[in-house]
């Protein structure tokens, strides 16, 4: 697990904040600690904003990309309920996301062993997009980390 969220007790200095631990660096939401520089969060926030923009440029939302990732990670067709649970969404919103990925051919619906249950799986097109986008993101993150190391 990359990040571990811990909720700190309400004290005057930490009231209403949650601390995210990234290895030895700690960033606090709603505080000035992250503004001093030097935290992983300072590095990752602009990266994730760039990722979001690139997804949008490719006609994707973060939720659609995450759904493809869930299907790839599980490695088997999943029901709407399973996807919803893994993504912490309602089944209705998951169905909407699947519909948007189904039309251009990134996922397909297949019948399960129980004919009443429809499963969703990645298509070769979905795997290809996910692979290319992940490779591109990994390269950009690696470059960002190297640039950060050079500055230090």
Structural domains of the chain sorted by starting position, each given as residue range(s) with its CATH number in brackets: 1-36 (no CATH), 42-151 (1.10.10.10)
Q: What is the pLDDT of residue 125?
A: 95
SS3 142: helix
* Strand-by-strand arrangement of the 25-28 sheet: 4-7, 18-22, 25-28
Does residue 124 register a pLDDT over 50? Answer: yes
- Among residues 24, 3, 28, which one has the least CA distance to residue 14? 28
Stated as kind and residue range, the H or E segment containing 137 is helix 124-151
Confidence band (pLDDT; 50, 70, 90) for 151?
low
pTM: 0.65
How far apart are alpha carbons 119 and 87 in whole angstroms? 16
- C-beta of residue 138 within 8 angstroms of C-beta of residue 127: no
Gyration radius from the chain CA atoms: 19
Mean pLDDT taken over the chain: 75
- For the ranges 32-36, 53-57, 75-79, the lowest mean pLDDT is seen at 32-36
Confidence band (pLDDT; 50, 70, 90) for 40?
confident
């Amino acid at each position: 697990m990359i990040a571990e969220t811990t909720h700190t007790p309400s004290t005057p200095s930490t009231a209403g904040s949650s601390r995210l631990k990234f290895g030895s660096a700690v960033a606090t939401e709603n505080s000035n600690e992250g503004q001093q520089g030097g935290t992983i969060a300072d590095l990752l926030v602009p990266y994730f904003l760039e990722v979001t923009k690139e997804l949008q440029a490719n006609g994707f939302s973060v939720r659609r990309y995450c759904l493809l990732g869930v299907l790839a990670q599980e490695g088997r067709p999943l029901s709407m309920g399973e996807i919803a649970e893994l993504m912490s969404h309602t089944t209705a919103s998951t169905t909407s996301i699947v519909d948007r990925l189904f039309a251009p051919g990134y996922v397909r619906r297949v019948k399960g062993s129980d004919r009443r249950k429809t499963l969703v799986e990645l298509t070769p097109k979905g795997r290809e997009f996910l692979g290319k986008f992940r490779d591109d993101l990994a390269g950009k993150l690696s470059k960002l980390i190297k640039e950060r190391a050079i500055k230090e």
